[in-house]
Amino acid sequence: MNRFFACVVLFIATGLHAEPIYFDKHYPAADKASPAIILLHTSGGYKSVSNKVKPYVDAGYVVYTPDFFKRYGITTATRFQTWTRYRNNIERELSEIVQLMKADGRVDAANIFAVGFSNGGYWASYLSATGAVNAGISHYGVWDFPGNVDGYPVKYFHGASHPVLALIGKDDQTQRYERVLPQVQKAENLSPRVVRKVYEASHSWDCSVCNQEYIYNEMVTKDALKSTLDFMKENTK
């Protein structure tokens, strides 16, 4: 077996890909290396982060927005496959994006953060709990899902995990508070650097065009953004 054929077999057998998953980059006006954020979309897909980029760029952050659905054809209807069938793949691919960020000359490699929304909140927890980024912020993030026999994302946490800010809604009907709270508490017991903040709000409190299940709350949206920026500042080296 020649080397080229062996490499092809390896990629097929392990599910590895030669190219990273799709991502876009957004830069602030500063011409110096800036802190950076990997901004992670909801189960609504990649388009759900399009209106969330500007506030972070305006605050001086480089923002990378990966699409972790497209490669596997994941949709809102098949979103649970994100944390089951494709979990190992997405773990590896988001970690790869962080490495690409560190190699970007316009990024301060010592200060990279993860900010995720709903589905993306799960992955912000993963990246921070495993030490890939300085800190992670989970906005109405996924802490529990059907068939979660392995207990993720709590299973990622340990005593040396990097800080995670869990922003959760008491009126959330998608990630129900009574199911999310015990999971966040487990993470708190595993890592002293998990911070919890509870809002009187529904899921997707920052979505002004979503369905009736998600109630837009301007006050909470503004506070969640401020809390996110403050948390990143506190964990900047």
Edge-to-edge strand ranges of the sheet holding 135-139? 23-26, 62-66, 34-40, 107-117, 135-139, 164-169, 194-199
210 band by pLDDT with thresholds 50, 70 and 90 = confident
pLDDT of residue 20: 94
| Cis amide linkage into residue 153, ω under 30° from 0 | yes
Instruction: Write out the two tokens for 37.
Output: 């954020």
Instruction: Write out the two tokens for 153.
Output: 């994302």
Residues 151-158 have a mean pLDDT of 97
Coil vs helix vs strand at 175: coil
12 band by pLDDT with thresholds 50, 70 and 90 = very low
Pick the CATH number of 22-234 from 3.40.50.1820, 3.60.10.10, 3.40.50.970, 3.20.20.140: 3.40.50.1820
Residues 53-57 have a mean pLDDT of 98
| pLDDT one-digit tens code per residue, 77-103 | 999 999 999 999 999 999 999 999 999
- Measure the CA–CA gap between 63 and 101, rounded to whole angstroms: 9
Write down the pTM of the prediction: 0.92
31 band by pLDDT with thresholds 50, 70 and 90 = confident
Say if residue 60's pLDDT is above 50.
Answer: yes
| pLDDT one-digit tens code per residue, 155-176 | 999 999 999 999 999 999 999 9
211 band by pLDDT with thresholds 50, 70 and 90 = low
pLDDT of residue 16: 60
Per domain, the residue ranges of the chain are 22-234
Higher-confidence position of 198 and 30: 198
225 band by pLDDT with thresholds 50, 70 and 90 = very high
